[in-house]
């Protein structure tokens, strides 16, 4: 325990050593996980699970030990002697530790081992479309999350604690209000769009065979267009695309290539590229601190979906990318023009797979997951009933028939990794991005920048208002600083109504 007489500078030097050690463990853990998800042989999962369990055990001890807690509390009590970044870093770490210390160490280590094994089992189960294989793992994951959230906040509904984990301050009440607002505007829009769709045909190029080796070249070109620094960002291949940001000097993104769907990987790369830009754009003043990452899943998704949808699915981007497509795929894309590309990437129709869903129907996929995971967390649904409930809700909201669990309840990796409470972040992220666009347009000619192929003005605006701040501000505060107003879901519905209204009227 630090003596009262210990100087603040000595406490700060201990704190600096602590956060560097924690950062090293976190880096090692992250790289091992990335390796497990990408290139490691399948038979290595058990060993990796043991190693990760040891690392997480040591990290847990280091974080929750009485020395650490006392050090952080002492530093916080001297807040007037700390600079704002250090004060925020100390407070955030203390908050995390106080939450974590409510979970017994052995249960925490066992849970880390569980989710690591569950990842491998989920991949097998999805490949064979065999939910029964995954079910015992998913049951344990839900049970553990319920138990942990009760430890963390005994007086708060467990699903609210789960939501708060990913987006501080988010509750089921706010989610319900947000989704209700979306449903009210999206459903009438969907019926207008389906009338338009009935009169149009899918663009033939979208299901044509595009060789994977050429799609890899396209990924490289997309990374260049987004201005991703290739010295600090690489791309790997996984079943389910994701981004791992270790520090602003090492960010990894992944994609999945489908030979008969060139747009699938293309928009995954743009989406993950948005996540990567955020991580790469964090201010150097946060190097070596615990604040050198994105602040929340929703703000992260606001960036990825900004690039994927607002930029990637714009007329200006269609004009930019079609010549690139025709250069890389001279035969496959010979008849593709900018307008047909734009129509194809904005085509909105109910579908089975979330990551391939369009902007308009996407939030309905999120609503299905939100209602199901919330139901299990609240004890209203059994894990064993999830496949049936999933299929029912997909029928109810999207009008689609789910052929098997691989295209249904097993499609996403999130639950296998313990990511319960994550999904609403996707929908919120879309809405945040639309609000940022409205403000950005006041000073940046977004379409002109995209059409010119130089995204610098867009990137710089986001760097200035979002990326460089790292974890300095809570997500709601960051959004308000960025937009000069609190969160307003109507920006998103206005954006969708304008875009799809135009598509239905002018095509
Ligand atoms: Zn994402």
Cβ contacts of 493 within 8 Å, gap of 6 or more: 181, 182, 185, 186
Predicted confidence at residue 201, as pLDDT, reads 78
507 confidence band (pLDDT: 50, 70, 90)? very low
Determine how many CB atoms are found less than 10 A away from the CB of residue 128. 15
Determine how many CB atoms are found less than 10 A away from the CB of residue 229. 14
Distance in Å, CA 453 to ligand 1 centroid: 23
Q: Give tens-digit pLDDT for 99-153.
A: 988 999 899 989 989 998 999 999 999 999 999 999 999 999 999 999 999 999 9
User: Is the sign of the CA dihedral 39, 40, 41, 45 positive or negative?
Assistant: negative
Predicted confidence at residue 3, as pLDDT, reads 55
Distance in Å, CA 228 to ligand 1 centroid: 16
Distance in Å, CA 84 to ligand 1 centroid: 30
Distance in Å, CA 387 to ligand 1 centroid: 24
Q: Give tens-digit pLDDT for 377-407.
A: 999 999 999 999 999 999 988 889 999 999 9
Tokens 């497990």 sit at which residue?
A: 36
What mean pLDDT comes out for the span 255-259? 96
How far apart CA 485 and CA 69 sit, in angstroms, is: 36
Q: Give tens-digit pLDDT for 99-113.
A: 988 999 899 989 989
Give one DSSP letter per residue of 401-412, joined into a string: ---SGGGTTTS-
Q: Give tens-digit pLDDT for 433-473.
A: 999 999 999 999 999 999 999 999 999 999 999 999 999 99
pLDDT at 315 over 60: yes
Distance in Å, CA 293 to ligand 1 centroid: 15
Strands (E), 181-275: 233-237, 243-247, 250-255
Q: Give tens-digit pLDDT for 18-51.
A: 999 999 999 999 999 999 988 999 899 999 999 9
Distance in Å, CA 301 to ligand 1 centroid: 5
pLDDT at 430 over 70: yes
63 or 88, which is more confident?
Answer: 88
Percentages helix, strand, coil for the chain (3-state, rounded to 5) are 70, 5, 30
C-alpha Rg value of the chain to the nearest Å: 23
Distance in Å, CA 115 to ligand 1 centroid: 20
If DSSP codes are grouped into helix, strand and coil, which group holds residue 300? helix
User: Is the sign of the CA dihedral 71, 102, 298, 406 positive or negative?
Assistant: positive
pLDDT at 219 over 80: yes
What mean pLDDT comes out for the span 325-345? 94
Residue 170, beta-bridge partner list: none
Among candidate residues 414, 221, 402, 394, the one with its CA nearest the CA of residue 301: 414
Residue 243, beta-bridge partner list: 253
| Measured CA angle at 35 (ends 29, 40), to 5 deg | 130
**118 burial via Cβ count (<10 Å: 0-12, 13-18, 19+):** buried
Helices (H), 281-337: 297-305, 315-328
- 486, two tokens: 């609190």
Distance in Å, CA 303 to ligand 1 centroid: 9
How far apart CA 308 and CA 245 sit, in angstroms, is: 18
Judge whether 291 and 471 are in contact, CB under 8 Å.
Answer: yes
pLDDT at 5 over 80: no
- 299, two tokens: 């703000």
**Catalytic annotation, residues:** 272
Cβ contacts of 44 within 8 Å, gap of 6 or more: 36
Predicted confidence at residue 4, as pLDDT, reads 60
Characterize the bridge pairing of strands 243-247 and 233-237.
Answer: unpaired
What mean pLDDT comes out for the span 482-504? 92
Architecture of the domain defined by 172-350+365-389+416-506: Orthogonal Bundle (1.10)
Q: Give tens-digit pLDDT for 170-205.
A: 999 989 989 998 888 887 888 788 777 777 778 889
Q: CA–CA distance from 120 to each of 110, 221, 288 (Å)?
A: 16, 32, 32
Show me where the domains of the chain are located: 8-166, 172-350+365-389+416-506
Phi then psi for 103, rounded to 5 degrees?
-95, 125
Distance in Å, CA 8 to ligand 1 centroid: 40
Q: Which residues of 399-422 are buried (b: 16+ CB within 10 A; e: fewer)?
A: ebebeebbbbbbbbbbbbbbbbbb
Distance in Å, CA 238 to ligand 1 centroid: 14
Judge whether 480 and 418 are in contact, CB under 8 Å.
Answer: no
240 or 457, which is more confident?
Answer: 457
DSSP collapsed to 3 states, 137-179: HHHHHHHHHHHHHHHHCCCCCHHHHHHHHHCCCCCHHHHHHHH
What mean pLDDT comes out for the span 463-486? 96
Distance in Å, CA 25 to ligand 1 centroid: 24
DSSP code of 420? T
pLDDT at 505 over 70: yes
**374 burial via Cβ count (<10 Å: 0-12, 13-18, 19+):** buried
Give one DSSP letter per residue of 31-81, joined into a string: HHHHHHHHTS-GGGHHHHHHHHHHHHHHHHHHHHSHHHHHHHHHHHHTGGG
Distance in Å, CA 1 to ligand 1 centroid: 42
Predicted confidence at residue 100, as pLDDT, reads 85
Predicted confidence at residue 188, as pLDDT, reads 82
Calculate the average pLDDT of the chain.
93
Determine how many CB atoms are found less than 10 A away from the CB of residue 59. 20
506 confidence band (pLDDT: 50, 70, 90)? low
Predicted confidence at residue 116, as pLDDT, reads 87
What mean pLDDT comes out for the span 199-219? 91
């Amino acid at each position: 325990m630090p003596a009262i007489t210990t100087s603040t500078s000595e406490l700060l030097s201990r704190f600096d050593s602590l956060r560097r050690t924690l950062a090293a463990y976190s880096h090692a853990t992250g790289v091992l996980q990335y390796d497990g998800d990408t290139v490691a042989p399948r038979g290595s999962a058990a060993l990796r699970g043991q190693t990760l369990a040891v690392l997480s055990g040591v990290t847990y001890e280091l974080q929750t030990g009485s020395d650490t807690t006392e050090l952080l509390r002492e530093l916080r009590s001297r807040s007037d002697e700390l600079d704002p970044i250090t004060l925020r870093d100390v407070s955030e770490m203390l908050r995390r530790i106080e939450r974590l210390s409510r979970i017994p160490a052995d249960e925490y280590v066992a849970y880390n081992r569980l989710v690591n094994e569950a990842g491998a089992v989920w991949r097998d189960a999805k490949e064979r479309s065999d939910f029964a294989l995954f079910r015992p793992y998913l049951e344990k994951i839900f049970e553990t999350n319920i138990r942990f959230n009760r430890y963390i906040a005994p007086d708060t509904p467990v699903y609210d604690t789960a939501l708060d984990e990913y987006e501080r301050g988010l509750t089921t009440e706010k989610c319900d209000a947000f989704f209700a607002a979306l449903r009210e505007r999206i459903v009438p829009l969907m019926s207008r769009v389906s009338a338009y769709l009935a009169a149009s045909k899918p663009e033939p190029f979208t299901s044509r065979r595009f060789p994977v080796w050429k799609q890899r070249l396209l990924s490289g070109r997309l990374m260049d267009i987004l201005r991703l620094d290739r010295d600090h960002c690489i791309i790997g291949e996984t079943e389910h695309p994701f981004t791992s940001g270790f520090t602003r000097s090492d960010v990894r993104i992944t994609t999945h290539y489908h030979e008969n769907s060139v747009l699938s990987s293309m928009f995954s790369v743009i989406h993950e590229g948005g996540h990567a830009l955020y991580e790469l754009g964090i201010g150097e003043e946060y190097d070596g601190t615990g604040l050198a990452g994105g602040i929340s899943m929703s703000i992260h998704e606001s960036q990825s979906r900004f690039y994927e949808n607002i930029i990637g699915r714009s007329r200006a981007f269609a004009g930019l990318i079609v010549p690139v497509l025709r250069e890389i795929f001279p035969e496959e894309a010979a008849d593709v023009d900018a307008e047909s590309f734009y129509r194809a990437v904005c085509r909105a129709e109910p579908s089975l797979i979330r990551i391939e869903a369009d902007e308009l129907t996407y939030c309905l996929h999120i609503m299905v997951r939100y209602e199901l995971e919330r139901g299990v967390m609240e004890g209203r649904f059994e894990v064993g009933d999830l496949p049936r409930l999933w299929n029912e809700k997909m029928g109810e909201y999207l009008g689609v028939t789910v052929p098997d669990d691989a295209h249904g309840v097993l499609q996403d990796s999130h639950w296998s990794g313990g990511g319960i409470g994550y999904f609403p972040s996707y929908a919120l992220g879309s809405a945040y991005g639309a609000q940022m666009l409205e403000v950005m347009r006041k000073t940046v000619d977004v379409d002109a920048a995209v059409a010119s192929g130089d995204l610098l003005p867009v990137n710089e605006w986001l760097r200035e208002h979002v990326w460089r701040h790292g974890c300095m501000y809570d997500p709601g505060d960051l959004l308000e600083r960025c937009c000069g107003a609190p969160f307003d879901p109507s920006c998103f519905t206005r954006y969708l109504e304008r875009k799809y209204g135009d598509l239905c009227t002018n095509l």
